């Protein structure tokens, strides 16, 4: 699903109105109807008091139109006009008049006036500011935001949480914190970034009927990725397939005390479907790997505690490296020699492999095209440097990807995969996956997919999604706290099955 910029949203609105011949305010009416349907389907006419806080622009017009629909269906609604500015948009005035025709006279909420009662029994509809906000609100508005955030009410924001800028950083405390945002037609970029996403506890995309041709022909820099979008990338296996056709991956890493990282990655390679895996570790890793993962082939380095050579006796389709590897001088030299010899297979680099690249930046120029890098936030700083905020981080990460022609997978709550000009936010996963070894499993999954013939980008996107889905399935059985990295491997097969199963037939539709 595309994530549009503010200008792209405005353009899509304008072209939809032109191509569909819509009257003024009709698109706003669609947004209000979609919002009403969402709320009504959950409240089912319950006597829950609803407080609508409407600004004086188009987002406020959405709020007034929603209030009218709620009143027409018997809900108890209090409407407040937040005097954010003296000017009022035509659509706002149109919906204000329609409310007044129904004998509803919204109360004006000004800097010096009293604040509405917001109790635990209330639902608050936040329609103060929309995506057009381009400056920090006045201090009294910020105080109003804090009043809303401190209340025990359930807050529903229309399109975006008021105070959030769409395309740039918002300082903490300068926005409404919404339990759910009803986002019109598209998710919004701030939802996916740690600093701004904390203001959005949940969100739903509501279809408001923007012209499909406009949506299809408008390119987007960022996308939200979910399972159905990834299904065309799936590479099945034929009836007569054998292990030699399913790919061979090598895993290079480990050091004394950290051999488990290699074991996790190698097991994930096989569980993701690769035919064979070879692990190369220091001598201290031989027994743990041979006993713990009998399906793996193991090559032992001459170094007892750390890798001193990356030379392999096999020719794999992909090499994953860095997991638990350490940064000993001999290991750094081995990594350098490996890259100087221009490896011809794709690489998947994680953990200490990233640390070595960041500390020896000349090695970045030696990476094969489309190398997959899997940093967590700390490792990302080593690669791209410090950033001032999440939007600055995006710009620096995109510049890094362009310079080094790599697939950059920034791990997090909504793992972001960057390749060339595009970014893809993942839809699966949960906080229980914030545990040791989770990244090693991801590296193994991605390598296992590349071994089977997936492109590095497809392997990253599918691998990240399945990794998160495995975590979602596992957490149902054991909760966040007990989830361990090995559980992600355990549930990976179930994740594949759930991802690939056909959609359930619609009500009244026969199967077969």
Q: Please report, in range form, the residues annotated as the binding site.
A: 58-62, 126, 130-136, 159, 162, 261, 324, 376, 411-415, 439-440
Q: Please report, in range form, the residues annotated as the binding site for K(+).
A: 59, 126, 162
What pLDDT score was predicted for residue 512? 34
- pLDDT tens across 326-356, in order? 999 999 999 999 999 999 999 999 999 999 9
Alpha carbon distance 148, 153 (integer Å): 8
Q: Of 433, 442, 387, which is closest to residue 413 (Cα–Cα)? A: 433
Q: Which domains does the chain have, with CATH numbers?
A: 2-220 (3.40.50.10260), 322-500 (3.40.1190.20)
Q: Of 393, 396, 336, 334, which is closest to residue 361 (Cα–Cα)? A: 336
- pLDDT tens across 248-294, in order? 999 999 999 999 999 999 999 999 999 999 999 999 999 999 999 99
Q: What is the mean pLDDT of residues 35-53?
A: 97
List residues bridging with 180 in a β-sheet: 156
- pLDDT tens across 204-256, in order? 999 999 999 999 999 999 999 999 999 999 999 999 999 999 999 999 999 99
Output the pTM of the full model.
0.95
Which tops the pLDDT comparison, 505 or 444? 444
Predicted confidence band at 510 (pLDDT cuts at 50, 70, 90)? very low
Query: To 10 degrees, the CA torsion angle through 406, 316, 378, 393?
Result: 10
What pLDDT score was predicted for residue 504? 61
Q: What is the mean pLDDT of residues 487-507?
A: 87
Element (H, E) at 70: helix 58-72
**Residues near 487 by beta carbon (within 8 Å), at least 6 away in sequence:** 470, 471, 474, 478
- The sheet that has 77-82: what strands, in order across it? 107-109, 77-82, 50-54, 123-127, 154-158, 180-184, 203-206
What pLDDT score was predicted for residue 152? 98
Q: Please report, in range form, the residues annotated as the binding site for (6S)-NADPHX.
A: 58-62, 130-136, 159, 261, 324, 376, 440
- pLDDT tens across 412-431, in order? 999 999 999 999 999 999 99
**Would you say residue 509 has pLDDT above 60?**
no
Alpha carbon distance 469, 473 (integer Å): 6
Query: To 10 degrees, the CA torsion angle through 480, 475, 3, 42?
Result: -100
103 is written with which tokens? 């004998």
- pLDDT tens across 154-190, in order? 999 999 999 999 999 999 999 999 999 999 999 999 9
Predicted confidence band at 502 (pLDDT cuts at 50, 70, 90)? confident
Strand pairing category for 203-206 and 222-225: unpaired
Q: Please report, in range form, the residues annotated as the binding site for AMP.
A: 411-415, 439
């Amino acid at each position: 699903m595309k994530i549009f910029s503010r200008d792209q949203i405005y353009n899509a609105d304008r072209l939809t109105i032109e191509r569909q011949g819509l009257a003024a305010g009709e698109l706003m009416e669609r947004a209000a109807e979609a919002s009403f349907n969402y709320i009504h389907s959950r409240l089912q006419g319950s006597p829950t008091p609803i407080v609508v806080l409407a600004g004086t622009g188009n987002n406020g017009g959405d709020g007034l139109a929603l209030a009218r629909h709620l009143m027409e269906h018997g809900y108890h609604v209090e409407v407040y006009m937040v005097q954010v500015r003296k000017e009022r948009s035509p659509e706002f005035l149109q919906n204000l008049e329609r409310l007044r025709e129904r004998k509803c006279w919204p109360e004006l909420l000004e800097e010096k006036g009293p604040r509405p009662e917001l109790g635990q029994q209330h639902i608050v509809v936040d329609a103060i500011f929309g995506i057009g906000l381009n400056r920090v609100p006045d201090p009294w508005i910020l105080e109003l935001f804090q009043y809303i955030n401190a209340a025990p009410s359930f807050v529903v924001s229309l399109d975006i949480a008021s105070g959030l800028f769409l395309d740039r950083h918002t300082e903490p405390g300068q926005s409404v914190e919404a339990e759910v945002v009803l986002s019109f037609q598209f998710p919004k970029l701030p939802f996916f970034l740690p600093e701004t996403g904390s203001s959005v506890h949940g969100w739903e995309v509501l279809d408001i009927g923007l012209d499909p041709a406009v949506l299809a022909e408008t390119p987007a820099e960022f996308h939200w990725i979910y399972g159905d979008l990834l299904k065309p990338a799936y590479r099945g296996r034929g009836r007569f397939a054998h292990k030699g056709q399913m790919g061979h991956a090598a895993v290079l890493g480990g050091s004394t005390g950290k051999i488990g990282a290699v074991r996790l990655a190698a097991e994930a390679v096989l569980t993701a479907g690769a035919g064979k895996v070879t692990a190369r570790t220091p001598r201290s890793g031989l027994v743990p790997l041979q006993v713990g993962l009998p399906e793996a082939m193991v090559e032992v380095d001459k170094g007892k505690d750390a890798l001193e050579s990356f030379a392999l006796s096999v020719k794999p389709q992909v090499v994953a490296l860095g997991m638990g590897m350490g940064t000993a001088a001999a290991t750094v030299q081995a990594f350098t020699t490996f890259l100087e010899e221009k490896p011809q297979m794709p690489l998947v680099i994680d953990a200490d492999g990233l640390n070595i690249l960041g500390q020896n930046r000349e090695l970045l120029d030696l990476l094969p095209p489309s190398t997959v890098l899997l940093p967590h936030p700390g490792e990302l700083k080593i690669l791209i440097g410090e950033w001032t905020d999440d939007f600055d981080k995006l710009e620096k990460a995109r510049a890094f990807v362009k310079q080094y022609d790599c697939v950059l997978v920034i791990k997090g709550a909504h793992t972001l995969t960057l390749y060339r000009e595009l970014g893809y936010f993942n839809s699966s996963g949960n906080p229980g996956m914030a545990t040791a070894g989770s990244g090693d499993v991801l590296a193994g999954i991605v390598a296992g997919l590349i071994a089977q013939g997936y492109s590095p980008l497809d392997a990253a996107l599918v691998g990240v999604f399945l990794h998160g889905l495995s975590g979602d399935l596992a957490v149902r059985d054991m909760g966040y706290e007990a989830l361990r990295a090995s559980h992600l491997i355990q549930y990976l097969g179930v994740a594949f099955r759930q991802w690939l199963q056909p959609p359930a037939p619609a009500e009244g539709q026969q199967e077969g």
